[in-house]
Amino acid sequence: MRPHLWWLKLLALSLAISARAFAQDTASITGTVTDPTGASFPNAQIFVENRERGIHRAALTNTAGEFLVSGLPPGPYSLVVTAPGFKKYQASEIVLRVAQSARIDVALQVAPASEQITLSGENVAQVEIQSSELAGTITGKEITQLELNGRNFTQLVTLVPGVSGGQDEGFVGIQFLPYSFNGGRLEYNNWEVDGGDILDNGSNQTLNVYPSVDAIAEVRVLTSNYGAQYGRNGSGTVEAETKSGTNKFHGDAYEFVRNNLLNARNYFDLPGPAPGYKKNVSLAN
């Protein structure tokens, strides 16, 4: 085979792998648009927008009135559906989680285009009906407000039903991951950050990368019945999504400290001062 054909095959393979990784942690909005009689409405205009990140997507419904807007990073979105002679439908503050597929069905109403129907996010996309997967999401608010002894993001997975195991004190570095998902073997789990595999493929029991807890936006834990895009291992899958920039300036500063004054003596210790222990982490960005 000619050398340049090998390069073309290699490029196609790399693009396929990149697309697979990208699709694993991005969200989507799907649904069906109907008219007042309940019949499917083809060629309706679909607009999806995230103003914080400057994301604007447009689509048309097909002959069955169905639409799909995929490849959306997690965050708040608005959905607008328009068609000549019908009220404009608008749903705002639709919060998409990591790898979530939200379904929003729209029933258009006859009226001048100047009129519109507006819904807030809490009235749409609340129930997962697109997939039979069993999963839970640890949100950014939970990540920042929960105390993690050792500040290791893997400790968060125990918040999801079906996950057992844990560590007295987590730390960042080479260590065994003692988490079982619905009774599965410990080395049969998938661990990914932004759709990329971070598991040590030699041992299947340690990670190559430990992102800072403050860099993580959300963590989605899939315990069973998830799709084939999460293949490779047959137990649980953990998808960590890091924070990304928006069109607003923001930053944070923190300091975490532990020392002898904060330590308690073990009940069975001999009389005397508490064991020495000092740990201090600070950062501003």
What pLDDT shows up at residue 17?
43
Residue 78: pLDDT above 90? Answer: yes
Q: Is residue 128 in a domain?
A: no
Region 47-75: mean pLDDT is 93
Do both 99 and 173 map to the same domain?
no
More confident residue, 85 or 253: 85
Domain end point (choices 99, 123, 147): 123
Residue 122: pLDDT above 60? Answer: no
E strand spans, 184-236:
190-193, 196-197, 216-224
Region 136-159: mean pLDDT is 86
Q: Is residue 277 in a domain?
A: no
Amino acid at position 15, single letter: L
Paired sense of beta strands 116-120 and 88-96, if any = parallel
pLDDT per residue as tens digits for the range 180-220: 998 888 888 999 999 889 998 888 888 988 888 888 999 99
The per-residue pLDDT of the chain, averaged, comes to 81
CB 104 within 8 A of CB 94: yes
What pLDDT shows up at residue 20?
41
Domain with residue 215: its CATH number is 2.170.130.10
Residue 237: pLDDT above 50? Answer: yes
Do both 183 and 213 map to the same domain?
yes
Residue 250: pLDDT above 50? Answer: yes
Give residue 44's domain range. Answer: 3-123
Could you give the 3-state DSSP secondary structure of residue 153?
A: helix
Q: Is residue 34 in a domain?
A: yes
Could you give the 3-state DSSP secondary structure of residue 207?
A: strand
Q: Is residue 276 in a domain?
A: no
- Structural domain count, the chain: 2
What pLDDT shows up at residue 21?
44
Domain with residue 75: its CATH number is 2.60.40.10
CB 218 within 8 A of CB 138: yes
Q: Which of 122-131, 182-191, 223-232 has the highest mean pLDDT?
A: 182-191
Region 117-142: mean pLDDT is 74
Q: Is residue 140 in a domain?
A: yes
CB 285 within 8 A of CB 260: no
Quote the pTM value. Answer: 0.72
Q: Is residue 268 in a domain?
A: no
